[in-house]
A and B are shown apart, each in its own frame.
Chain A
Amino acid sequence: MYLEVKDVKKSYGKDNSYIQVLKGISTSLEEGQMCVIQGTSGSGKSTLLNCIGGLDTMDSGSITVDGTEIFGMKPNQLSDYRRDNLGFIFQFYNLVPNLTVRENIQICEYIADDPLDIDELLETLGLTEHQNKFPAQLSGGQQQRCAIARALVKNPKLLLCDEPTGALDSKTSRDILILLEKINEKYGTTMLIVTHNNSIKNMVHKVIIIKDGLIKKEYENETRTPAAELEDL
């Protein structure tokens, strides 16, 4: 297994404000798989993603990525873990506003040992003509494509996407999903997508549904629908 999550628990606060967000999550993902984590607000899906991404610590349990255990890692080790293994895509793109498209991608290229070719990436993502523009000069879809390019340039083994289409209209959302699908096929990138969009689950290999901090349902999608054919995005 490329990603293995075992009995992960996570809580916040103390006494009256104590809340257990993850109550013992266990799951796994194979290399090259696309997986959707679905759930309502407050179900714990983003917390799980953060724990896998090393952005948040878990109270107990185990998460191994490509054989590396991240539980108990120190901040510096977590930093190296993210640097070497992960790519992130956010709902609101989080591009650096005073850097151009190309420069935003360079942020991650700079720290990668074996980065992808930026020009090729720009071409793939349809950003070549926008590479010298600032984020404020781009549409939402273009900004998200830039964010994807930034995440991919490191050639990460695991791509964590937190509501990647949450801020986009349906047409742009479809374009982005097509892109993710294409990347998955082209580079074999393992992807974990957190979303509350019900349609996205149809295009991925695996679906995990979380409710109240526990996995309510988990299944392999045998009949994947290409992103281009997704409805109700």
Chain B
Amino acid sequence: MKRVLNRRNLRSLRSGFPRYLALLLLIVMGVYLIISIVGSAEMVIQGTENQKEKNKVEDGQFTVFLPLTDDQIYELCGYDTEIEPMFSIDLKTEDDATLRMFKNRKNIDLIQLDEGRLADKYGEAVIEKGYASAHDIHTGDIITAGGVKLRITGIGSVPDYDMCIAHFSDTAVERSVFGLIFTSDEQYDELKEKNDLNAEEYTYAYRLGYTNSNKLKAALKEIKIDPEQVDNKYFCEIIDEKLKDRYEFEDSINELNDGAKKLSDGLNGLSAVIPELKDAAEGSAELAAGTKELKENTGELLDEVFEVKIENLTSFITAEDNIRIEGAAGDVVMDKNAGLVAGIIVLTLFAYVISVFVVHQIEEEQSVIGALYALGVKKKDLMIHYITLPTLISLAAAIIGSLLGFSPLGILMQSKDTYSYFSLPQFDVVYPTYLIVYALVLPPVICAVVNAFVINKKLSRTALSLMKNEQSAGSYRQFDLKTKSFPKLFAIRQMVRESRSVITIVLGMFVSVMIIMLGADSAVLCGNVNDCTVNDTKFEYQYLYKYPDKTPPEDGEAAYIETLSTDCMGYTLDVSVIGISEKSRYFDVSVAKGKNRAVINASLAERYGYRKGDKVAFTDSSSDTDYCFNVTDVCDYSVGFAIFMDIDSMRELFGKEDDYYNVVYSDKELDIEDGRLYSVTTRDDIIRGAGVFSKLMLPLVTTLITTGTIVFCVVMYLMMGVMIDRSAMGISLIKIFGYRAREIRALYLNGNLIAVTAGSLIAVPLAKKVIDAIFPSFIPNVACTIKLAFPWQLYLLIFAAILVVYFIINRMLIGKINKISPAEVLKNRE
């Protein structure tokens, strides 16, 4: 019996081949996308994890004013902790890009070469792969950095610059303007000599032993330095400014001392000639001795009053808080989760689509099923029979989709974007068991379960009822239709009759529109980030100071920036606290005086739902201090996460001097010495950085919109097709009555237009609502605005596109209707 039924399955496959092929391709596409998205994410996550051990990624890094002494390093390296200098100098290239030069790494953050060898001689360097790719540099090429020509011996990456940005404040990777090179110690030292010594960054990387970061940080904070040891002239300037009063006091004492000595010496000489002056000479000698004693003792007193010993530590950041480390792995986590969840939704939809076909087949064959029941065939056997073919098709699709997904066409292609943005070694493709099980087992299982659930009722009728082809009276809902128009009435009845297919179309529309919305939201977000950045960045130049001058440049507007952080779904995001004057030319924000009064920007308000009057807290991770602010207003400024304060109040809050500033905004280029600055950012840089996201997201946006459109078209075509199949008898009948083609279309297809229009009116806004609600969870690691509002034209475009697709499919189905012969009805006779 089973063998006979199986043979029948083969025949069904042959007769319904185009339909089964469409379903197969649909599932193949779904599985392929899941595997390629989730698989590429897994490849990056697991590859990064493996690389951690292999390349000995740091547990954190810190920067100091002065290089640590060997003794200090020895002290810090207790409990098996390793510390390695990662000193660097930024070198300019001929095309004004920046190459950060490091020595070859010894024990921490090792270089992973994609090709070539390490640079071990003069005139050689290994170059970071992203920069090499952007500049089309290959092993053996010569580059110029810092005025010196270097031969490239290898191309690779390092784990501490996975996200290769120059500054932690940078919003996006720009491969063409920033990269890394690694040279031998000798080459590094020679280049250092040629360049400004002050530009060298004293950064150390550490790998913890039996201790933790907090203890190491505490130990580092204990290391104090004498400012005089610091060679940097701008740093010295600041220290001199701090010590100005001491120097003045010392000078005065010295002058007093000198004067007293001169007086004593003079009177002493005169007293030999004029004996009357002997008392005065003795008195002046006592004064000179006193002032000398004063001078000697004042030194100690001033040392106590003007404490100038400073902490050597300038920054301390753990690997978890370092956005350059594991940037790619963090970025793809949401891809993985979204891919897995979306996969289940899409596969369930496909399974439901299949079930509509199976139900149609059962309804067509119910008299045969009844006869088989009468002959003793069990429901279980028929259930298995009807489920077997779709399940096998799902399994075949799952296998093909998995093979394609794991092939270079899948994972490697999908990970292209990640590789084109992050600086990663070429990871091996991984084959996680869960993903294989997910891809191979889930499609057939979902298909079998959904189909079993849907057809169970259909197969549960009695043999007699099935044989008689009985329609239960309750099959059709009685409801009054007010319309007098017969075509309308008929179309409504037809729609109600085909409610299962209509629901599937609407569900398919909803799921596919959700996929499209995800793509559209990504595109809209990128556009909005871009627009907000362009509109809200009113300055032309932003000078971030390392060593601010006593007074800000005349044409610049001084401000004070501190970076705090906030948590977003486990990710730490930077929040810039910007202290500005009341009448800022560059920020349209009305700040109020008060140590804890702040205006928060729109991005923060959108992401966390903060409102005026709320209390908000952000963390200073370097000092483990939380700062709490009262929100006095929400401003329409959407570049990153930012809060604005009155500059004086901010100085007071962070314990800075009354005239302190560390950033200057300007609408023209200012003449500021490079050595004073941490970075210069132009408006163009910011706009270009914001534009990078749009460029990066474009392939994903295209994939999502294309996939959504394909799913929509295929589901709609299949479902509208099955509706016509199910109506073949009716169409045949009205052809007999003499209905013309146009009238038949009006009766059988126009109802679909109502369903599609009504469905899209529900599905489009609903899908938008759902995706908008979950969208922030896709970008928890990006501090940006989440303005996702569509212009009304975009809604119109989506509706129009749906209707265009509908009309195209409608047109295609007319052929199917035309093929139905009037003689179809005549088969229904004895």
Chain A interface residues (CB < 8 Å from chain B): 46, 50, 53, 55-56, 76, 79-84, 86, 88, 90-92, 94, 96-99, 103, 106-111, 132, 134-137, 154, 162-163, 166-167
Given contacts A79-B738, A110-B486, A163-B830, whether A94 and B471 have CB atoms under 8 Å apart is no
Can you list 23 A-B contacts with CB-CB less than 8 angstroms, sorted by A residue number?
A53-B736, A79-B740, A82-B736, A83-B737, A83-B738, A83-B740, A84-B738, A86-B738, A90-B828, A91-B830, A92-B828, A94-B825, A97-B471, A98-B476, A98-B493, A99-B490, A103-B493, A107-B490, A111-B738, A136-B471, A136-B475, A154-B737, A163-B830
Closest chain A residue to B738 by CB distance? A83
A99 neighbours in B (Cβ, 8 Å): 490, 493
Report the minimal beta-carbon distance from A115 to chain B, rounded to whole angstroms: 11
B765 neighbours in A (Cβ, 8 Å): none
CB-CB contacts below 8 Å: B688-747 with A: 729-730, 733-741, 743
Contact with A along B462-506 (1 / 0, CB 8 A): 000000001111011010000000110110011011000000000
Beyond A90-B829, A103-B489, A109-B486, 13 additional contacts (C-beta under 8 Å) are: A80-B740, A82-B738, A84-B738, A91-B828, A91-B829, A97-B471, A97-B475, A98-B496, A103-B490, A107-B734, A111-B738, A111-B743, A136-B473
B789: CB under 8 A from chain A? no
B801: CB under 8 A from chain A? no
B822: CB under 8 A from chain A? yes
Cα distance, A109 to B489, chains bound together (Å): 13
From the candidates B473, B490, B493, B736, name the one contacting A88 in the complex (CB within 8 A): B736
Q: Is the CB of A108 within 8 A of B737?
A: yes
Q: Is the CB of B478 within 8 A of A94?
A: no
Cα distance, A88 to B497, chains bound together (Å): 24
Q: Is the CB of B826 within 8 A of A55?
A: yes
Cα distance, A103 to B481, chains bound together (Å): 11
From the candidates B471, B476, B739, B823, name the one contacting A79 in the complex (CB within 8 A): B739
Cα distance, A111 to B490, chains bound together (Å): 13
Q: Is the CB of A166 within 8 A of B830?
A: yes
Q: Is the CB of B493 within 8 A of A111?
A: no
CB-CB contacts below 8 Å: B783-830 with A: 822-823, 825-826, 828-830
Given contacts A94-B729, A98-B476, A136-B471, whether A55 and B739 have CB atoms under 8 Å apart is no
Report the minimal beta-carbon distance from A53 to chain B, rounded to whole angstroms: 7
Cα distance, A137 to B474, chains bound together (Å): 9
Closest chain B residue to A81 by CB distance? B738
A103 neighbours in B (Cβ, 8 Å): 486, 489-490, 493
From the candidates B496, B739, B829, name the one contacting A163 in the complex (CB within 8 A): B829
Q: Which of A96, A97, A135 has the most CB of B within 10 A?
A: A96
Given contacts A56-B823, A110-B487, A166-B830, whether A136 and B476 have CB atoms under 8 Å apart is yes
Closest chain A residue to B736 by CB distance? A88
Cα distance, A137 to B470, chains bound together (Å): 10
Q: Is the CB of A92 within 8 A of B829?
A: yes
Cα distance, A76 to B470, chains bound together (Å): 34
Q: Is the CB of B829 within 8 A of A166?
A: yes
7 nearest CB pairs, A to B: A83-B738, A136-B471, A82-B738, A98-B497, A110-B486, A137-B473, A91-B829
B471 neighbours in A (Cβ, 8 Å): 97, 134-136
Cα distance, A94 to B730, chains bound together (Å): 8
Report the minimal beta-carbon distance from B394 to chain A, rounded to whole angstroms: 31
Report the minimal beta-carbon distance from A13 to chain B, rounded to whole angstroms: 15
Q: Is the CB of B733 within 8 A of A96?
A: yes
Given contacts A55-B736, A107-B737, whether A162 and B472 have CB atoms under 8 Å apart is no
A86 neighbours in B (Cβ, 8 Å): 738
A136 neighbours in B (Cβ, 8 Å): 470-473, 475-476
Contact with A along B189-210 (1 / 0, CB 8 A): 0000000000000000000000
Cα distance, A81 to B823, chains bound together (Å): 16
B823 neighbours in A (Cβ, 8 Å): 50, 55-56
Q: Which of A82, A84, A106, A162 has the most CB of B within 10 A?
A: A82
Closest chain A residue to B486 by CB distance? A110
Q: Is the CB of B738 within 8 A of A55?
A: no
Report the minimal beta-carbon distance from B473 to chain A, rounded to whole angstroms: 5
B473 neighbours in A (Cβ, 8 Å): 134, 136-137
Q: Which of B472, B473, B489, B738 has the most CB of A within 10 A?
A: B738
Closest chain B residue to A196 by CB distance? B830
Cα distance, A103 to B479, chains bound together (Å): 13
Report the minimal beta-carbon distance from B273 to chain A, rounded to whole angstroms: 139
Cα distance, A98 to B739, chains bound together (Å): 19
B493 neighbours in A (Cβ, 8 Å): 98-99, 103
Given contacts A82-B738, A136-B471, whether A50 and B826 have CB atoms under 8 Å apart is yes
Closest chain A residue to B743 by CB distance? A111
B729 neighbours in A (Cβ, 8 Å): 94
B476 neighbours in A (Cβ, 8 Å): 97-98, 134, 136
Cα distance, A46 to B729, chains bound together (Å): 19
Cα distance, A218 to B319, chains bound together (Å): 103
A84 neighbours in B (Cβ, 8 Å): 738
Report the minimal beta-carbon distance from B745 to chain A, rounded to whole angstroms: 14
B738 neighbours in A (Cβ, 8 Å): 79-84, 86, 111
Cα distance, A84 to B830, chains bound together (Å): 28
Report the minimal beta-carbon distance from A103 to chain B, rounded to whole angstroms: 6
Cα distance, A99 to B493, chains bound together (Å): 7
Report the minimal beta-carbon distance from B466 to chain A, rounded to whole angstroms: 14
Closest chain B residue to A151 by CB distance? B737
Closest chain B residue to A135 by CB distance? B471
Closest chain A residue to B822 by CB distance? A55
Cα distance, A167 to B468, chains bound together (Å): 12
Cα distance, A82 to B735, chains bound together (Å): 9
Report the minimal beta-carbon distance from B766 to chain A, rounded to whole angstroms: 28
A56 neighbours in B (Cβ, 8 Å): 823
From the candidates B487, B740, B741, B826, name the one contacting A46 in the complex (CB within 8 A): B826
Q: Is the CB of B470 within 8 A of A94?
A: no
Cα distance, A82 to B739, chains bound together (Å): 9
Report the minimal beta-carbon distance from A22 to chain B, rounded to whole angstroms: 16
Report the minimal beta-carbon distance from B243 to chain A, rounded to whole angstroms: 95
Cα distance, A225 to B81, chains bound together (Å): 116
Cα distance, A167 to B830, chains bound together (Å): 9
Report the minimal beta-carbon distance from B530 to chain A, rounded to whole angstroms: 53
Report the minimal beta-carbon distance from B733 to chain A, rounded to whole angstroms: 5
Cα distance, A76 to B744, chains bound together (Å): 13
Cα distance, A56 to B826, chains bound together (Å): 11
Given contacts A94-B729, A135-B471, A136-B476, whether A111 and B737 have CB atoms under 8 Å apart is yes
A90 neighbours in B (Cβ, 8 Å): 825-826, 828-829
Closest chain A residue to B729 by CB distance? A94
Cα distance, A164 to B475, chains bound together (Å): 26
Cα distance, A94 to B470, chains bound together (Å): 13
CB-CB contacts below 8 Å: B509-562 with A: none
From the candidates A50, A132, A163, name the one contacting B478 in the complex (CB within 8 A): A132
Contact with A along B171-195 (1 / 0, CB 8 A): 0000000000000000000000000
A98 neighbours in B (Cβ, 8 Å): 476, 493-494, 496-497
Cα distance, A46 to B827, chains bound together (Å): 11
Report the minimal beta-carbon distance from A155 to chain B, rounded to whole angstroms: 13
A107 neighbours in B (Cβ, 8 Å): 486, 490, 734, 737
Cα distance, A38 to B476, chains bound together (Å): 38
B472 neighbours in A (Cβ, 8 Å): 136
A154 neighbours in B (Cβ, 8 Å): 737
Q: Is the CB of A106 within 8 A of B830?
A: no
Report the minimal beta-carbon distance from A101 to chain B, rounded to whole angstroms: 12
Cα distance, A132 to B830, chains bound together (Å): 29
Q: Is the CB of A134 within 8 A of B830?
A: no
Cα distance, A80 to B742, chains bound together (Å): 13
A163 neighbours in B (Cβ, 8 Å): 829-830
B734 neighbours in A (Cβ, 8 Å): 107
Cα distance, A136 to B825, chains bound together (Å): 18
Report the minimal beta-carbon distance from A97 to chain B, rounded to whole angstroms: 5
Cα distance, A209 to B743, chains bound together (Å): 38
Closest chain A residue to B735 by CB distance? A79
B489 neighbours in A (Cβ, 8 Å): 103, 106
